[in-house]
Structure 1
Amino acid sequence: MDNNLAIIVLAAGQGTRMKSATPKLLHPLAGAPIVAHVLATARTLDAAHVVAVVRHERDLVAAAVEAELPGTVIVDQDEIPGTGRAVEQAIAALPADFEGEVLVLNGDVPLLNADTLAAFLEQHRADAAQASVLSAIYDDPSGYGRVVRDITGRFDRIVEQKDASDDERRIAEINAGIYAFGAAALRDQLANLTTENAQGEKYLTDVIGLLRAAGSEVEAVPVSEPWLVAGINDRAQLSETAARLNALIVRGWQLNGVTIEDPTTTWIDLTVRIEPDVTIRPGTQLKGATVIETGAVVGPDTTLVDCEIGRNAEVKRTDGTLAVVGAGASVGPFSYLRPGTVLGADGKIGAFVETKNAKIGHGSKVPHLSYVGDATIGEQSNIGAGSIFANYDGVTKHHSEIGSHVRTGSHGVFVAPVRIGDGVYTGAGTVIRKDVPAGALAVNVAPQRNIEGWVQTNRPGTAAAQAAEAADGASGPASHDAAAD
Structure 2
Amino acid sequence: MSNYAIILAAGKGTRMKSDLPKVMHKVAGITMLEHVFRSVQAISPKKTVTVIGHKAELVRQVLGDATSFVLQEEQLGTGHAVMMAEKDLANLDGQTLVIAGDTPLITGESLKSLIDYHVNHKNIATILTADAKNPFGYGRIIRNSDEEVTKIVEEKDATDFEKQVTEINTGTYVFDNKRLFEALKNINTNNAQGEYYLTDVIGIFKAAGEKVGAYKLRDFNESLGVNDRAALSVAEEVMRERINRKHMLNGVTFTNPKATYIDIDVEIGADALIEANVTLKGHTKIGEEVTLTNGTAIIDSTVGAKSVITSSTIEHSTLADSVTVGPYAHIRPDSTLEADVHIGNFVEVKGSYIGADTKAGHLTYIGNAQVGSKVNFGAGTITVNYDGKSKYKTVIGDNVFVGSNSTLIAPVKIGDNALTAAGSSIVEDVPADSIAIGRARQVNKEGYAKNKPHHPSQK
TM-score range, shorter chain: over 0.9
Check the 8 A contact 2:103/2:226 in 1, yes or no.
Answer: yes
Q: Where does residue 177 of structure 2 map in the other structure?
A: 183
2:260 to 248, 266, 272: 266
Q: Within 1, Cα distance between the matches of 2:73 and 2:302? A: 46
1:58 to 56, 65, 74: 56
Q: Where does residue 45 of structure 1 map in the other structure?
A: 43
Local SS of the residue matching 1:353: strand
1:32 to 30, 33, 58: 30
Q: Which has the higher mean CA deviation after the structures are superposed, 320-329 or 101-110?
A: 320-329
2:67 to 63, 69, 72: 72
Q: Where does residue 289 of structure 1 map in the other structure?
A: 283
Code of the residue aligned with 2:216 in structure 1: it is: P
Shift of 1:445: 4.3
Q: Where does residue 85 of structure 1 map in the other structure?
A: 80
Code of the residue aligned with 2:120 in structure 1: it is: A
Q: Where does residue 132 of structure 2 map in the other structure?
A: 138
2:456 to 438, 459, 469: 469
2:20 to 16, 19, 22: 22
What TM-score do the two structures reach when normalised by structure 1?
0.91
Q: Within 1, Cα distance between the matches of 2:66 and 2:199? A: 28
1:235 to 229, 233, 236: 229
1:380 to 367, 374, 388: 374
Task: Please tell me whether residue 339 in structure 1 is matched to residue 333 in structure 2.
Answer: yes
% identity of equivalent residues:
38
Task: Please tell me whether residue 424 in structure 1 is matched to residue 411 in structure 2.
Answer: no
Code of the residue aligned with 1:120 in structure 2: it is: L
Shift of 1:162: 2.2
Q: Within 1, Cα distance between the matches of 2:441 and 2:389? A: 34
Q: Deviations over 1:190-247 (max 9, x none)?
A: 1101223343311101111111122111112211011101011111111110111111
Give the 5 Å matches for 1:250-399.
Answer: 250-399=244-393
Local SS of the residue matching 1:93: helix
Code of the residue aligned with 2:418 in structure 1: it is: V
Shift of 1:71: 4.1
Give the 5 Å matches for 1:187-206.
Answer: 187-206=181-200
Check the 8 A contact 2:11/2:75 in 1, yes or no.
Answer: no
Local SS of the residue matching 2:241: helix
Q: Within 1, Cα distance between the matches of 2:267 and 2:70? A: 35
Check the 8 A contact 2:90/2:181 in 1, yes or no.
Answer: no
Q: Within 2, Cα distance between the matches of 1:456 and 1:206? A: 98
Q: Where does residue 150 of structure 2 map in the other structure?
A: 156
Q: Which has the higher mean CA deviation after the structures are superposed, 72-81 or 113-122?
A: 72-81
What TM-score do the two structures reach when normalised by structure 2?
0.96
Q: Where does residue 401 of structure 2 map in the other structure?
A: 407
Q: Within 2, Cα distance between the matches of 1:84 and 1:37? A: 23
Q: Deviations over 1:103-153 (max 9, x none)?
A: 101000011111111111111122221111111111111111111111222
Between Structure 1 and Structure 2, whose CA radius of gyration is higher? 1
Code of the residue aligned with 1:226 in structure 2: it is: F
Code of the residue aligned with 2:13 in structure 1: it is: G
Q: Within 1, Cα distance between the matches of 2:90 and 2:403? A: 74
Shift of 1:425: 1.5
Q: Within 1, Cα distance between the matches of 2:433 and 2:34? A: 57
Code of the residue aligned with 1:26 in structure 2: it is: M
Local SS of the residue matching 1:92: helix
Shift of 1:449: 3.4
Indicate how the Cα distance of structure 1 residues 446 and 94 shifts in structure 2: closer, same or farther if over 3 A, else same: same
Q: Within 2, Cα distance between the matches of 1:64 and 1:381? A: 44
Task: Please tell me whether residue 105 in structure 1 is matched to residue 99 in structure 2.
Answer: yes
Q: Which has the higher mean CA deviation after the structures are superposed, 244-253 or 437-446?
A: 437-446
Check the 8 A contact 2:40/2:111 in 1, yes or no.
Answer: no
Check the 8 A contact 2:79/2:197 in 1, yes or no.
Answer: yes
Local SS of the residue matching 1:369: strand
Task: Please tell me whether residue 174 in structure 1 is matched to residue 161 in structure 2.
Answer: no
Check the 8 A contact 2:78/2:198 in 1, yes or no.
Answer: yes
Local SS of the residue matching 1:47: coil
Code of the residue aligned with 1:149 in structure 2: it is: R
Code of the residue aligned with 2:387 in structure 1: it is: D
Q: Within 2, Cα distance between the matches of 1:446 and 1:375? A: 26
Q: Within 1, Cα distance between the matches of 2:71 and 2:166? A: 35
Q: Which has the higher mean CA deviation after the structures are superposed, 126-135 or 245-254?
A: 126-135
Q: Within 1, Cα distance between the matches of 2:275 and 2:24? A: 30
Shift of 1:397: 0.4
Number of aligned positions between the proteins: 459
Shift of 1:433: 0.3
Q: Where does residue 443 of structure 2 map in the other structure?
A: 449
Q: Deviations over 1:284-320 (max 9, x none)?
A: 1111111111121122211111111111111111111
5+ unaligned residues in a row in structure 1: which ranges? Answer: 474-485
Q: CA RMSD in A?
A: 1.7
Indicate how the Cα distance of structure 1 residues 204 and 95 shifts in structure 2: closer, same or farther if over 3 A, else same: closer
Local SS of the residue matching 2:361: strand
Q: Within 2, Cα distance between the matches of 1:62 and 1:346? A: 44
Q: Within 2, Cα distance between the matches of 1:295 and 1:154? A: 54
Q: Within 1, Cα distance between the matches of 2:78 and 2:90? A: 21
Q: Where does residue 8 of structure 1 map in the other structure?
A: 6
Local SS of the residue matching 1:62: helix
Q: Within 1, Cα distance between the matches of 2:90 and 2:193? A: 31
Q: Within 1, Cα distance between the matches of 2:161 and 2:180? A: 31
Indicate how the Cα distance of structure 1 residues 445 and 119 shifts in structure 2: closer, same or farther if over 3 A, else same: closer
Q: Within 2, Cα distance between the matches of 1:243 and 1:73? A: 31
Shift of 1:179: 0.8
Q: Within 2, Cα distance between the matches of 1:93 and 1:202? A: 20
Q: Within 1, Cα distance between the matches of 2:249 and 2:343? A: 32
